């Protein structure tokens, strides 16, 4: 009785469940482990609700407009988030500490940067809505295996475009990744967040990412659990595939050591600021313990591969998810880092194509594990 009831009303129940989680996590101010658990679900909750609204639109046409409205809210929210983080890299530290803006201390250059930040986020947000154009979707579908007349694929395309175009705006305007700015790192140091135990946070993020991807892929809505795992490419890898993943990860670490140096030299020659490695080490300092390194690697490896390569790649090909993968790192890396992440994403994508998501996730996990371990050893020397 209960399974049949859940199957019939799964979208409504999931909207209610994740909506409640979002409201409690965002507005109730719960602390401790429970608060960290709920906070880790906030981003995922928005995407699951959007997917469920789209699924409901197949039953009730009115939900089509609700889904589009929710989509627009999410695009606007992403633009506002980018502006907020970008402003941290622009405004003086004293303004951020007092949370008050004194007009007399705002010079012309600062005002211009803020204006460009707002304009850039606005233009990027509107540009992502080109995915709502059927003509554009039909053209794109000539190269990618998605259905241009599917509301689900249309909504997913807009989300992908928004997440590709909007996050790099602060870096484009300020030249500094928001998370590596002196102001942001100063706020982290003062709040003590760098000293917090990030192991549980990474575990919670991984949990919610996997759960969210599972439901967005249609679990219990129009796919069984096993069908959903197959759709995401989460299958048991062969021994040969595991060996391939480990060898590929180690080869990538060696290769990207030289690729990253070459990119940094090229960007420096072009006069483009490169990623500040000391600031990166400081940003990740809270995770650079042995348990933190392991959990961060697993969370990034499996979370990103399942959501990007497993969920999106079968419908949107290799290029768009790889661009999305790079753009998701735009708050913490400069352009040399983003190009490097993009190249890595392309390689993970081909591993996913010729094997499965589990193998690409193992590759990604081992790759991050080696890099984080090198950072850990470097800090301890």
Give the pLDDT score at 204.
84
pLDDT tier at 51 (50, 70, 90 boundaries)?
very high
DSSP 94: H
Once rounded to an integer, what is the mean pLDDT over residues 76-92?
91
pLDDT tier at 323 (50, 70, 90 boundaries)?
very high
Once rounded to an integer, what is the mean pLDDT over residues 82-111?
73
Please tell me the distance from the alpha carbon of residue 57 to that of residue 72, in angstroms, as a whole number: 16
Strand partners for 223: 219
Contact 347/252 with Cβ under 8 angstroms? yes
Greatest mean pLDDT among 8-12, 191-195, 240-244, 271-275: 240-244
In this predicted model, which residue has the larger pLDDT, 378 or 84? 84
Give the pLDDT score at 353.
96
Once rounded to an integer, what is the mean pLDDT over residues 29-46?
82
Poorest-pLDDT segment among 6-20, 57-71, 234-248 = 6-20
DSSP 355: S
Give the pLDDT score at 191.
63
Q: Which helix (H) or strand (E) holds 116?
A: helix 108-128
Please tell me the distance from the alpha carbon of residue 122 to that of residue 79, in angstroms, as a whole number: 7
In this predicted model, which residue has the larger pLDDT, 258 or 289? 258
Please identify which residue in the block is written with the tokens 């506002």. Answer: 80
Please state, for a pLDDT cut of 90, what percent of the chain lies above it: 63
Once rounded to an integer, what is the mean pLDDT over residues 91-98?
65
End-to-end CA distance of the chain: 61
Please tell me the distance from the alpha carbon of residue 209 to that of residue 147, in angstroms, as a whole number: 25
Is the per-residue pLDDT at 41 higher than 80? Answer: yes
In 3D, which of 128, 88, 122, 167 has the Cα closest to residue 326?
A: 167
Please tell me the distance from the alpha carbon of residue 231 to that of residue 307, in angstroms, as a whole number: 12
Poorest-pLDDT segment among 112-126, 175-189, 362-376 = 175-189
Give the pLDDT score at 381.
41
Is the per-residue pLDDT at 380 higher than 90? Answer: no
Is the per-residue pLDDT at 337 higher than 50? Answer: yes
pLDDT tens by residue, 152-202: 999 999 999 999 999 999 999 999 999 998 888 877 777 655 445 556 666
Please tell me the distance from the alpha carbon of residue 359 to that of residue 352, in angstroms, as a whole number: 7
Please identify which residue in the block is written with the tokens 């690697």. Answer: 297
pLDDT tier at 223 (50, 70, 90 boundaries)?
confident
Please tell me the distance from the alpha carbon of residue 90 to that of residue 177, in angstroms, as a whole number: 11
pLDDT tier at 221 (50, 70, 90 boundaries)?
confident
In 3D, which of 13, 100, 78 has the Cα closest to residue 52?
A: 13
Is the per-residue pLDDT at 47 higher than 60? Answer: yes
Tally of CA atoms within 13 A in the half-sphere of 100 that contains its CB? 3
DSSP 150: -
Once rounded to an integer, what is the mean pLDDT over residues 71-85?
96
Give the pLDDT score at 234.
95
pLDDT tier at 315 (50, 70, 90 boundaries)?
very high
Please tell me the distance from the alpha carbon of residue 219 to that of residue 212, in angstroms, as a whole number: 10
CB burial of 60-70 (b: ≥16 within 10 Å; e: otherwise) equals eeebbeebbeb
In 3D, which of 130, 118, 81 has the Cα closest to residue 327?
A: 81
Taking residue 306's Cβ as centre, other Cβ atoms within 10 Å add up to: 24
Q: DSSP 3-state helix, strand, coil percentages of the chain (rounded to 5)?
A: 80, 0, 20
Contact 82/163 with Cβ under 8 angstroms? no
pLDDT tens by residue, 250-286: 999 999 999 999 999 999 899 898 998 888 888 777 6
Is the per-residue pLDDT at 120 higher than 70? Answer: yes
Once rounded to an integer, what is the mean pLDDT over residues 212-221?
92
Helix (H, G, I), strand (E, B) or coil at 223: strand
Is the per-residue pLDDT at 300 higher than 70? Answer: yes
Long-range contacts of the stretch 239-246 (C-beta < 8 A, 24+): 241/355, 241/356, 241/358, 241/359, 242/359, 242/362, 244/351, 244/355, 244/359, 244/363, 245/351, 245/359, 245/360, 245/362, 245/363, 245/366, 246/362, 246/363, 246/366
Tally of CA atoms within 13 A in the half-sphere of 109 that contains its CB? 4
């Amino acid at each position: 009785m209960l399974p049949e009831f859940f199957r019939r009303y799964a979208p409504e129940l999931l909207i209610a469940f994740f909506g409640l989680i979002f409201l409690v996590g965002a507005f109730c101010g719960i602390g401790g482990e429970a608060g960290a658990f709920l906070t880790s679900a906030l981003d995922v909750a928005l995407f699951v609700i959007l997917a469920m609204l789209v699924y409901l639109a197949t039953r009730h046409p009115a939900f089509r407009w609700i889904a589009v409205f929710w989509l627009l809210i999410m695009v606007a929210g992403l633009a506002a988030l980018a502006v907020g983080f970008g402003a941290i890299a622009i405004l003086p530290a004293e303004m951020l500490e007092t949370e008050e803006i004194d007009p007399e201390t705002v010079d012309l250059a600062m005002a211009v940067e803020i204006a460009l930040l707002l304009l850039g986020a606005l233009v990027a947000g509107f540009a992502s809505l080109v995915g709502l154009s059927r003509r554009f979707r039909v053209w794109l579908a000539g190269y990618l295996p998605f259905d241009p007349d599917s509301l689900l694929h249309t909504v997913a395309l807009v989300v992908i475009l928004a997440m590709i175009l909007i996050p790099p705006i602060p870096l484009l305007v300020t030249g500094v990744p928001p998370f590596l700015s002196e102001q942001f790192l100063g706020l982290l140091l003062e709040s003590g967040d760098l000293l917090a135990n990030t192991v549980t946070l990474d575990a919670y993020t991984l949990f919610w990412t996997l759960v969210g991807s599972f439901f967005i892929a249609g679990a219990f809505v129009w796919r069984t659990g096993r069908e959903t795992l197959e759709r995401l490419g989460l299958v048991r890898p062969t021994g040969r595939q595991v060996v391939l993943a480990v060898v590929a990860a180690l080869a990538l670490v060696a290769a990207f050591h030289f690729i990253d140096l070459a990119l940094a030299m090229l960007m420096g020659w072009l006069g483009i600021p490169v990623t500040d490695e000391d600031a990166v080490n400081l940003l990740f300092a809270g995770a650079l313990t042995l348990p933190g390194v392991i959990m961060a690697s697993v969370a990034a490896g499996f979370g990103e591969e399942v959501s990007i390569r497993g969920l999106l790649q079968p419908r949107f090909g290799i290029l768009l998810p790889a661009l999305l993968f790079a753009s998701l790192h735009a708050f913490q890396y400069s352009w040399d880092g983003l190009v490097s992440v993009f190249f890595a994403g392309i390689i993970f994508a081909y591993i996913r194509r010729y094997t499965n998501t589990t193998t690409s996730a193992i590759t990604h996990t081992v790759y991050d594990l080696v890099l984080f371990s090198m950072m850990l050893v470097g800090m301890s020397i």
